[in-house]
Amino acid sequence: MKEKLYPFDNIESKWQKYWLDTKLFEMDPKSKKEKYYCLVMFPYPSGKLHVGHGRNYIIGDALVRYKIMKGYNLLSPMGWDAFGLPAENAAIKGGLHPKESTLKNIDTMKAQLAKWGVGYDWSREVTSCAPDYYKWTQWIFLKLFKKGLAYKKKAAVNWCPSCKTVLANEQVISDSCERCDTKVIDKDLEQWFFKITDYAQTLLDDIKLLGDWPERVKTMQANWIGKSQGVNIDFLLDGANSKFSCYTTRVDTIFGATYMVLAPEHPEIDSIIKDSPEKDKIEAFIKKVRTQDKTKRADANVEKEGIFTQKYVINPVNNRKIPLWIANYVLMEYGTGAVMAVPAHDERDFEFAKKYNLDIEVVIDNPNQALDAQTMKTAYIEDGVMVNSEQFNGARNKEASESITDWMEQKKIGKRATHFRLRDWLISRQRYWGAPIPIIYCDKCGTVPVEEDQLPVNLPDDVEFKPDALSPLSAAEDFVNTKCPKCKADAKRETDTMDTFVDSSWYYLRYLSPKDKDRPFDKKLVNEWLPVDQYIGGVEHAILHLLYSRFITKVLNDLGYVGFKEPFGALFTQGMIIKNGAKMSKSKGNVVSPDALIEKYGADTIRLYTLFIGPPEKDAEWNDRAVEGSYKFLGRVWRLAEKVTSSSNDTNTFDKDLERKIHQTIKKVTRDIEGDFKFNTAISSVMELINAAYLSLDKNYNKSVKFAVEIAVKLLAPFVPHISEELWEKLGNTSTIFNQSWPEHDEEKSKDEVIIIPVMINNKLRSRIEVDSNSSDDDIKTIVLSDAKVKEWLKDKDIKKFIVVPKKLVNIIV
């Protein structure tokens, strides 16, 4: 092995121990300093971390160390999102019990984080699978239950026949289970839900409170909530007394409705087909559609399929009798599950009408070219002028929308309505490795919540957790059989466990009082410390985790447990590290482990490379060979510090140019970090500073170079803390560099010096110009040529030579 550029291994273990011993990362509850809560998303303990995971923690650590030097009282905790499927699936395949494998993985990952030099306040560690944590997850469930925000209902759920579990919609990837690729089917089961839809409007409104969040994430939140404003219109069933309410956002097209479509799940279907000779056919069709993936059915590209019910409904605006269909492209989950179809002006309806030969009627005309229902090739979805719409003809459709709605509301045939795409949060899982839902079923008293003083409902260790249609817990008799809290009769426990998103929806509150036995969190402390100043994590959590955390915070706020409406003040989502063009994964065999690299180059090199690899919010390709460049740079800093501390030559004067560079670098690095975490450009300016210091050293400006090294080491400390601590010590300091305050630049000293240069033409002084002392020859040339006097002298002359003597003079030969 080549000789090391500097002795990183001894240095790194030395300082890692020092930070632990001196409790550098422990929050000081008594401190008078301003607080700063930096939260990195707590990970699922999956085992070993790779360099892609590292980016997340290194960015957080760099920020935390920077903020410590800026003089804040830091809260930088870490914990484990420790319940969930992978550990259970591994156990089923014959691996360790989920509890054992999880605890083992936590140890491995903790050791890895330490090796990266990433520090946390471990005295505040939380682990979501520990009874003293999930006790309070259950407490939160009870609070929602008592508030009417947790309820049970039969629901068609995504069922993976292989994992034998319910999947959330987002765990279904192109009709198949995210984990095992088996085709997912629909199944009706009793499920627990949280009523997040009660908060849809507030969750939408309060996006405006999310000041420092990426716009992209705010938009994703808004789209997920999906507010839509339209009109509910009742259509009477022909020859019967019942009616169908449909939801439309295009009431301006109502005169063009030529058929109506129901979702196959629509509850009225049974009664309307019960005497139909086509009953069997229709039921077979419905059964078939229900095996299709719901999230897909609404997709524009999915083949539209339908069946005629043999019934008609009456369009209330013109009493027209139109056929009633059932089709796959209408979902029961949205609006009312019934749609008035306007093929002339809706793509899906158009495609469907063409396929089944249904009427098409134009009611909004193209002002530039009249439409013809017979020949049109696609729906006309643009704005235009109302036609075939009785008293509304001639109006622009946007305006007609309003007047039609007013008119319908007056005639009581329609009503303004708002719908949200957001659905209630399905929180129950028929799995073992999760927090048990604290509910007891009693034959007499019904569904009874566990008394708060009886929490936690412990998850038994000794369970046959091979999944079945029922939760594995249902086979654990000691667990299931209990007494009713109300009447004390024999009763049975709920055997479902909670979605792990419930665990992670409140963990940031627990960090303030992780060992509190009496409360989930300390109201006074969380009110002091939250909202979180900076949340850092993966963009894959941009929707669900953030939305659920926002929801739980709002519920707790409404119940008076917290005094804030939003948990996270600022959010940063880092880009992925990719390898060979793809996300790192075991199956692709492109996982880069940090271990060998740390062994070879040290953690500081890996940290520096990770931060230098590109803008931190963008994806970046990992390149093992480029790591070498970061290593060489650290070697260069190391040698410069050695030279400057050992050399005795000194001019005893100060290098003005270097001094200026120092102040400019402080300014740039500070601005880059404070801005959008531009660690990459911050690092490159320190690299420039080191280059300038080497030049200055050649001229024996020892004092200036020493100052430059001191500053460089401080500026690098958040990124490469070990070498920075060591060099700081070598420079003759006794206390840790993280006790130093962050350097501040002097604006005057950072300004480029302005100098006056004489301009000669054919060796005769003709003008003087003002330039920045470090202007390039090209800059100078441009300035000279635009100088009025020079222009006058050069009129109609050919320039033969243009001589720039840096900082001295310019001579033009003509």
Binding site residues, ligand ANZ, CB under 6 A: 228, 247-250, 253, 263, 298, 330-331, 334-335, 337, 339-340, 342, 345-346, 419
Q: What is the rounded CA–CA span in Å between residue 552 and residue 567?
A: 9
Nearer to Zn ion by Cβ, of 240 and 489: the residue is 489
Instruction: Choose between 403 and 482: whose C-beta lies nearer to Zn ion.
Output: 482
Residue pair 139/455 in contact (Cβ under 8 Å)? The answer is yes
Least Å distance between CB 263 and ligand ANZ?
6
253 binds, among ligand ANZ, Zn ion, none (CB under 5 to 8 A by kind): ligand ANZ
Reference 122, options 16, 49, 17, 20; nearest CA is 20
Residue of the chain from 326, 341, 422, 484 that contacts Zn ion (CB under 5 A): 484
Q: Which is nearer to Zn ion, 295 or 482 (CB)?
A: 482
User: Does residue number 485 form part of the binding site for Zn ion (CB under 5 A)?
Assistant: no
Specify the DSSP class assigned to residue 735. S
At closest approach, how far in Å is the CB of 355 from ligand ANZ?
Answer: 17
Closest approach of Zn ion to the CB of residue 487, in Å: 3
**Among ligand ANZ, Zn ion, none, what does residue 486 contact (CB within 5–8 Å per kind)?**
Zn ion
Least separation, in Å, of the C-beta of 441 and Zn ion? 9
Q: Are 316 and 413 in contact (CB under 8 A)?
A: yes
Nearest to 564 by CA among 508, 501, 499: 508
- Of Zn ion, ligand ANZ, none, which one does residue 487 interact with (CB within 5 to 8 Å by kind)? Zn ion
Judged by beta carbon distances under 5 to 8 A according to partner kind, the member of Zn ion, ligand ANZ, none in contact with residue 463 is: none
Residue 378's CB is within 10 A of a number of other CB atoms, namely: 9
236 binds Zn ion (CB under 5 A): no
The entry of Zn ion, ligand ANZ, none near residue 335 (CB within 5 to 8 angstroms by kind) is ligand ANZ
Q: Which of 255, 260, 261 is nearest to 373 (CA)?
A: 255
Q: For the CB of residue 344, give the shortest distance to ligand ANZ in the complex, in Å.
A: 8
- CA gap 51, 595 in Å, rounded: 9
Q: Which residue has the tokens 């100088």?
A: 787
Residue 632 binds which entry of ligand ANZ, Zn ion, none, CB below 5-8 Å type-dependent = none
* Distance separating alpha carbons of residues 125 and 503, to the nearest angstrom: 14
Binding Zn ion by CB under 5 A: which of 173, 180, 284, 487? 487
CB of 419 to ligand ANZ, least distance (A): 6
* Minimal distance, residue 472 CB to ligand ANZ, in Å: 36
Q: Where are the alpha helices (DSSP H) in 24-165?
A: 51-69, 85-92, 98-115, 131-146
Q: Give the number of C-alpha atoms closer than 13 A to the C-alpha of residue 190, restricted to the C-beta side.
A: 8
- Is 356:284 a contact under the CB 8 Å cutoff? no
* Paired tokens of 27: 């929050």
Strand pairing of 35-40 and 534-538? Answer: parallel
Kind of pairing, strands 35-40 and 73-75?
A: parallel
Q: Which does 26 bind (CB under 5 to 8 A by kind): ligand ANZ, Zn ion, none?
A: none
Query: Do β-strands 320-327 and 259-262 pair in parallel, antiparallel, or remain unpaired?
Result: parallel
d(CA 600, CA 623): 15
* Alpha helical stretches, state H, 537-602: 544-558, 594-601
Candidate segments 191-199, 366-374, 437-445, 644-652, binder of Zn ion by CB under 5 A:
437-445
**CB-wise, 252 or 496, nearer to ligand ANZ?**
252
CB of 364 to ligand ANZ, least distance (A): 8
Which tokens hold the place of 11? 């240095």
**261, interface contact from Zn ion, ligand ANZ, none, CB < 5-8 Å by kind:** none
Task: Compare residues 356 and 441 and give the one whose CB is closer to Zn ion.
Answer: 441
Q: Is 442 in the site for Zn ion (CB under 5 A)?
A: yes
- Closer to ligand ANZ by CB, 348 or 493: give it: 348
Where does this chain touch Zn ion (CB under 5 A) — which range of 169-177, 445-453, 651-659, 712-720?
A: 445-453
In the bound state with Zn ion, the residue whose beta carbon lies nearer, of 442 and 620, is 442
Q: Cα–Cα distance between 410 and 392 in angstroms, integer? A: 16
| Strand intervals (E) in 719-763 | 754-761
E strand intervals along 435-516: 439-442, 446-449, 481-483, 490-493, 497-498
Q: How far is the CB of 345 from ligand ANZ (least distance, A)?
A: 3
484 binds, among ligand ANZ, Zn ion, none (CB under 5 to 8 A by kind): Zn ion
For Zn ion, the binding residues (CB under 5 A) are 442, 444-445, 484, 486-487
